[in-house]
């Protein structure tokens, strides 16, 4: 049996809809590339879990990653996602946390925020 991924995830003012391939922050659309959307959706659907750059490449791109140069691809795209989220709303940068020397984690904006699937 395959795990089921939610089609819509909502945390307070942030929502991401995999069926529509659309992410919004406070009801404003975040314009993302396909890869940026995939990264953001993956992180949001695994909220609270930390992922190494290598794991993200393997899970999202399906590459067998053993090169630090490839890992920089993730960092560049995370930077673009944050920038686009901030352009929509200044609070957008708070969702994706950097785990220094390891990778990233998606965190809701407040401890009481919960995902609604």
Question: Does the pLDDT value for residue 85 go beyond 90?
Answer: yes
Q: What pLDDT shows up at residue 82?
A: 94
The structure tokens listed for 3 are 């795990």
Which residues lie closer than 8 Å to 94 by C-beta, 6 or more apart?
A: 107, 109
Contact 10, 78 (CB under 8 A): no
Question: Does the pLDDT value for residue 6 go beyond 70?
Answer: no
The structure tokens listed for 100 are 């220094």
| pLDDT band, residue 22 (cuts 50/70/90) | very high
**pTM for the full model?**
0.85
Chain centroid, CA 48 distance in Å: 11
Helix, strand and coil content of the chain, in percent to the nearest 5, comes to: 40, 25, 35
Question: Does the pLDDT value for residue 2 go beyond 90?
Answer: no
Q: What is the pLDDT of residues 29-80, one digit of tens each?
A: 999 999 999 999 999 999 999 999 889 988 887 766 565 566 788 899 999 9
Average pLDDT, the chain: 84
Q: What pLDDT shows up at residue 87?
A: 93
Contact 69, 80 (CB under 8 A): no
């Amino acid at each position: 049996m395959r795990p089921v991924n939610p089609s819509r995830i909502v945390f307070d003012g942030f929502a991401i809809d995999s069926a529509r391939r659309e992410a919004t922050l406070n009801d404003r659309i975040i314009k993302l590339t396909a890869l940026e959307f995939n990264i953001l959706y993956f992180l949001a659907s695994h909220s609270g879990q930390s992922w190494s750059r290598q794991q993200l490449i393997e899970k999202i791109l399906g590459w067998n990653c053993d090169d630090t140069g490839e890992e920089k691809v993730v960092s560049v795209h995370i930077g673009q996602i944050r920038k686009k989220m901030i352009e929509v709303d200044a609070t957008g940068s708070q969702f994706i946390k950097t785990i220094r020397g390891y990778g990233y984690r998606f965190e809701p904006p407040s401890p009481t925020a919960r995902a609604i699937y």
